Structure 1
Amino acid sequence: MSKSDDLLPWAPAPGHGDEVLYAVDGPLGRVRLNRPRAINALDRPTIDSLLDRLGAWAADDAIAAVVIDGAGERGLCAGGDVRALRTSIVEGRQDEAVDYWRAEYAVNALVASYPKPYVAWMDGIVMGGGVGVSAHGSLGIVTERTQLAMPETIIGFFPDVAGLWFLSRSPGEIGTHVALTGTPVGGADALALDMADVLVASSSKDAVLAALRQDPTRPASELAQVVGQQHGDCWLEDNRSWIDECYVGDDAAAILERLRAHATPEAQEAAGTIAARSPHSVAVTLEALRRARTMTVEQVLEQDLVLGRAFATHPDFVEGVRAQLVDKDRSPRWMHGSLAEVPREEVLAAFGER
């Protein structure tokens, strides 16, 4: 954490709990996700608080820019509170889960269209819903500690929060690899995916904040000059050749077979990863990714809500969260035994099509 942060008058938004804390730091409106034991996972009170305060600050002339970070040392945000969503679904309250996603996507849309600079300190873990409250802003700052991922296929879900808007536009097929495998990538990879704008040392947070207080509109290129641009290894770019070769096309089963048959060990490892994911999730994710190429952020969020309704009634989401986060046996029993067994009709049905 920044040393200067201890002097700020952090407080919840009026009428909300301390899941999110706020402070005015000169011209900056500071936002701190404040559930460190859960790596700042986004529960419903967090989302409601963000929607309230970000909306108010958008119209407040005293706030020149917004800066969001996460409490604790582990990261900005581990994603949505999917354990709570699973509970709602298991207890027959699917509408509660859909309402959660609707509110979360409203926050993502607000961040994407924010009328002022919106700066995200993307240090440490930035996954799922954490991407939604950071990457859509005007300036995403990653570090050597960043672990960014859209890991939803691991839990029988799909990359939502309009993360597919970025991944569908990433160079070559690197976005497809990230979407289907759910594997975390580093700060330099986040830049390659265009999900962040500048890579700095994690120790430079005080310098970053000082630079933004001086000029809240400071662009990424100038900020990099002021605090020092870092140049980490980019695994995705280093592996572009087999990634671009294997992940082409709209057939998830064919992609998996190309990965399995490829001579590169990394491709075979990716095949094993995808084969362990929910076949339904992987198939729907690929379809959603390809459709997102021609959509706006708002349209991708609309698609996400349609898919969310479908996944709320599909057994793989409940099972995936159970295996990964509830029982933690890491042995999910998916509805389908393989990607080849997922009918095209089932994929289209997730989009409300028959």
Structure 2
Amino acid sequence: MGMPETPPETVPSARRADGGDAFVTAVRAALPAQGFWTMPVVVAVSGGSDSVALLTTLRRLVPPGLEHRLLVAHAEHDLRDGASADREFVVWLAARLGLHVVWRRLAVRDAPDGDGAGIEGRARRLRYAFLAEVALESGGRHVAVAHTADDQAETILHRMLRGTGLAGLGGMADARELVAGVSLVRPMLGLTREDVRGYLAAAGEAWREDPTNTDTRHARNFLRHDVFPRCEQGPYQAATAALTRLGRQAALVAGAIRSAAEHLLEAHSHRQAGGGVTVQTGPLAGLDRHLVAEVFVALWRREGWPQRDMTARHYTTLAAMSGGDAGTADVIELPGRVRVCRGNGMLSIEPDGRSSEP
């Protein structure tokens, strides 16, 4: 059966003369400098304008003869009737570009909501698990997603309004580990939604529109359609640029604090034979409590102890214990059955609630 000459119903785009070369150059500059095309690259494509722009740009950038290393992945969520048309469009687009596509229908409605993130959180978790599986099965080392500067600004403001810390203000990273051996990369994070539409017009590419993206009952849509337009059409015309700049600065500061905390942890902690860790309190006593709290964040991260129920209050309590603050207990129990005892100039921290009297 041959490829249809026209795609399912899409938003058309009139071709412009420049072909979107500046956009392609910007994406190329944002890709990892070494080894990006040595292994398969998985591109997450919903069929929307951002992901179509990313896919068609990477198709232009893949070195000749390596087109088989560009793999399209589409997650079809069971949340609306038009999802199958999005999938048909992505399959059509991949065929037009001469690329292999993998798609899966994700049962979001019936998925457990163990982390309390709601239906959007469940969809995100299942989608990233699917992308990781495609990468691992294909031998891929990179999964590319199409988040833009506008998405970054929305993420930062969303986190601010929910009450994030400094690290959360950093927004989405340009790259992060998705699973062991696979990186998630965002090569369009420095480009705006306006840049995307300009490129699609220049390239004459069509895309699909998800009608649920206009439903302002969802927090992100509320920010996108109600808050940002009023800011940028009113007194805050550079709201998106200002928030993304704040995010970059916050990420730099958070990274510096994390590095300092990890250095202190390595210098003043010791693993014990039974799986516990002792932390010397003397060298930490005179340090800023926020930095000391980050030392314990780094400890939990390094040891792989349960973090989901650990809050800023727990880490602040550990910092207070290490400084000998008045009113702090000598023994506490933390989420995940982690027991902490203070004595003899150290904190003894044991997972699984084992006794750890120093």
Same fold (TM over 0.5): no
When you count strand as a share of all residues, which structure comes out higher? 2
Q: Which has the larger radius of gyration?
A: 2
